[in-house]
Amino acid sequence: MNVYNNNNKRGMEALAHARGRYTPLQMRDLELLLQLGYTGELSEAAFHSLSGMLSSDYLRSFVARDAYTSSVSWAVHTEEWQEDLRKLVARLTSRTYPAVLEIGAGRGLLGAPMRKRGLKWVCTDIDPALGSDVQKMGALIAVRSYLGEIDVVFASWIPYEAEWDLELANLCADNGLPLVIVGESGGGCTGSEALWGYRSFSDRYDDEGDEIPEEDLPELPERRFKIEYVGELMPGFRDVPQWDGIRDHTYCALPEKGSTCPLRGGWGL
Ligand SMILES: C[S@@+](CC[C@H](N)C(=O)[O-])C[C@H]1O[C@@H](n2cnc3c(N)ncnc32)[C@H](O)[C@@H]1O
């Protein structure tokens, strides 16, 4: 598998842009970073070492991240994180060979390393990357189609302000499926405020800058799940590393306590 041999026009543009910013030595580091990420073989130490060489200022860090998101993935799915994700899924499901449905999978690069770790891993996306083996399917249709065959739903970087992610999380909760989410939580750039149950500054303050009393705020849309930071559910979890200025973490949406459809695995809250 070669990151430069996949007809990825946007990835090639980002790389050309990087050539204008980095020295040849730094380009070598960037290319190694992309290749390791592409094959799922990037360790946490390699990420810190290589990205450290490319991040002398915020702009350079942004250029490296742009190349990475354009050619690999939006979060950095290190080997350590893959291994702990496998453990998390096993604990959530109590299954020897759990099945995971990934929605919005983009290039679907997580499929191969996670299958190598013993999971069944199906990649879907409404607009899969050219040349990938990702199934073309919207998130809600994918979950409904695979109900009964999957134990966990996974999503890394749901698009900012998506209009369907609250329905996705409620659908998972109603069917006792944990939804693992990677990205920035409320106030960040992953998914919608409704998904995170977040009220922005402009929702909480009036035009004069006075805080609106809680009882006068409009009700938040119904969420039949609770989002937990995985580091708290599983102490010691080796989370995705972060690019400068980006707050990537792994979260899990679990059916609310007392739900009519509790978690199907052995690890309810
Ligand atoms: C920010 S990208 C993240 C892609 C990938 N998870 C990654 O980490 O590289 C968001 C992805 O969501 C997909 N997407 C957008 N709307 C969708 C929908 N309604 N159902 C499924 N996927 C969707 C896009 O095609 C895109 O691949």
* pLDDT tens-digit series, residues 145-191: 999 999 999 999 999 999 999 999 999 999 999 999 999 998 899 99
Determine the distance separating the centroid of ligand 1 and the alpha carbon of 236, expressed in angstroms: 29
Per-residue confidence (pLDDT) for residue 69, from 0 to 100 = 96
Mutate to test the pocket of ligand 1, among 121, 127, 141 (most ligand atoms within 8 A of CB): 127
The alpha carbon of residue 261 and the mean position of all alpha carbons in its chain are separated, in whole angstroms, by 25
Residue 55 has pLDDT above 90, yes or no: no
79-267 maps to which CATH number?
3.40.50.150
d(CA 158, CA 195): 10
Residue nearest atom 27 in ligand 1 by C-alpha distance: 106
pLDDT of residue 211: 78
CA-nearest of 77, 162, 61 to 121 is 77
**pLDDT score of 262 more than 80:** no
Whether 265 shows a pLDDT value over 70: the answer reads no
Residue 53 pLDDT > 90, yes or no? no
**C-beta atoms surrounding 263 within 10 Å:** 18
Strand order in the sheet with 99-102: 135-136, 120-125, 99-102, 152-156, 179-183, 249-255, 225-229
Indicate the pLDDT class of residue 94, thresholds 50, 70 and 90.
confident
Q: What is the pLDDT of residue 259?
A: 55
DSSP code of residue 11 = H
Lowest mean pLDDT among 107-111, 219-223, 247-251: 219-223
Pinpoint the residues of the chain covered by CATH 3.40.50.150.
79-267
> Identity (one letter) of the amino acid at 44?
E
Q: Which atom of ligand 1 is nearest to the CA of 138?
A: 20
Protein residue whose Cα sits closest to atom 18 of ligand 1:
138
Instruction: Report whether residue 74 contacts ligand 1, using a CB cutoff of 6 Å.
Output: yes
Instruction: Evaluate if residue 220 carries a pLDDT over 90.
Output: no
Q: Whose CA is nearest to atom 25 of ligand 1?
A: 127
CA pair distance 119, 123, nearest whole angstrom: 12
